[in-house]
Homo-oligomer: A and B are copies of this chain.
Amino acid sequence: MKSGKGRPVLVFDFGGTKLAAGVVDAEGGRVLSFVRVPTPAGQGASGSIDAIARSGKQALETAGVGMDELHGGIGISFGGPVSRDRRTVLRSMHVEAWDSIDLPDRIAALFDRPAFMDNDANAAALGEWAYGAGKGAENLLYVQISTGIGAGLIVQGKVYRGSGLAGELGHITVLADGPLCSCGKRGCLEGLAAGWAIARDGRALLENGGSSRLGELSDHRAERIDAEMVLRASQEGDPGSLAMVERALRYLAIGIANAVCLLDPDVVVIGGGVSRARPVVQGILEPALDEFLPAMFRGRVRLAFSELEGLETLLGAALLAQGY
């Protein structure tokens, strides 16, 4: 029983399109098992609750951990804003019928132990701070660049939540009168640098004949283009894609530099899907960050990339379960 299970904690991670359940050894910071399934479509919240019950049980079986061996509560990372008391989902950006659901209480009832939730950026920030690229930092800023852009802030070993919505880096204005964002206002960082914005610009690039490589990769069907494809084309040296990615990453550098000016963290950890194209992202982001930081901040903050390979939210959820 002691053989490598450490202190097992049951965790859940609700992404935009996928739901994951896992068992994490909170002592060693390892994921012992995880099960990832598509969020059931068109079945509302109750369909998801069934999927949660099944996945949780599977994760426990795979890890060989019995319910009676679990430590503490259950940790939940949710891909969207949660209420100030973190007992309710405020709104899902991606999944229907998720508004105002008391997710922790429902999961607590399923597994008969208390459950604790936070948004995915805060969970990932905790994961990086405890087990990842930001280990040992006093103040850490985690920046998540995937379909959307979010941030999580750890201040002296605790998540800083403000009145509950802190860390909305994606919706700071970096270009007055810039493109319309999904949030309804103009010039947000998300609308210039998030995965959905890069995909949108990639499609426009193809339609305007600006990239033959994107045409090859997408079989000339613009609707197939996503951020990953644009990043791949730019890494291969496609000039149109590269110019576009450069522009997006320069705005991202403005956003991060702005957050650094306000928060002066020891370390900034970059995570999320887009960040996994690390060579091209780092090569552009690092010098741009220096450009947009005032002299007294340059060389002061450490820029690190997540090496937890997408498991940072599950790992962080294990800390949420312990009351972080």
Bound-state Cα–Cα, A167 to B257, Å: 12
Stretch at the interface among A157-165, A207-215, A279-287: A157-165
Q: Determine if B169 and A261 form an interchain contact, defined as CB atoms under 8 angstroms apart.
A: yes
* Chain A interface main SS type: loop
> Given that A155-B155, A160-B155 are contacting pairs, would A262 and B296 also be in contact in the complex, using a CB cutoff of 8 Å?
no
Cβ–Cβ contact A163 & B296, under 8 A:
no
Tell me the A253-289 residues at the B interface (CB within 8 Å): 254, 257-259, 261-266
Interface flag for A64 (CB, 8 Å): no
A164: chain B residues within 8 A (beta carbon): 264
Q: Complex: how many Å from CA A250 to CA B266? A: 31
- State whether A264 and B163 are in contact (beta carbons under 8 Å apart), knowing that A184-B295, A295-B183 are contacts in the complex: yes
Which residues of B lie under 8 Å from residue A301 when comparing CB positions? Answer: 163
A256 to chain B, nearest CB (A): 11
Query: So how many copies of this chain end up in the complex?
Result: 2
Contact segment of A1-9, A170-178, A305-313 = A170-178
Closest CB in chain B relative to A120 CB, distance in Å: 16
A146 sits at the interface (CB 8 A):
no
Task: Check A185 for interface membership: any CB of B closer than 8 A.
Answer: yes
Say if the beta carbon of A297 comes within 8 Å of chain B.
Answer: yes
For the complex formed, measure the closest distance between the CB of A304 and the CB atoms of chain B, giving whole angstroms: 15
For A297, what are the chain B residues with a Cβ–Cβ distance below 8 Å? 165, 168, 171
Any B CB within 8 A of the CB of A166: yes
A155-B155, A173-B174, A258-B173 given; A294·B160 CB < 8 A: no
Which of chain A's residues 227-250 have a Cβ closer than 8 Å to chain B? 250
Residues of B contacting A221 in the complex (Cβ-Cβ under 8 angstroms): none
The 5 closest A-B CB pairs, nearest first, are: A162-B264, A172-B258, A166-B264, A168-B261, A171-B294
6 contacts between A and B (CB under 8 A): A155-B160, A162-B264, A163-B300, A166-B264, A167-B264, A169-B262
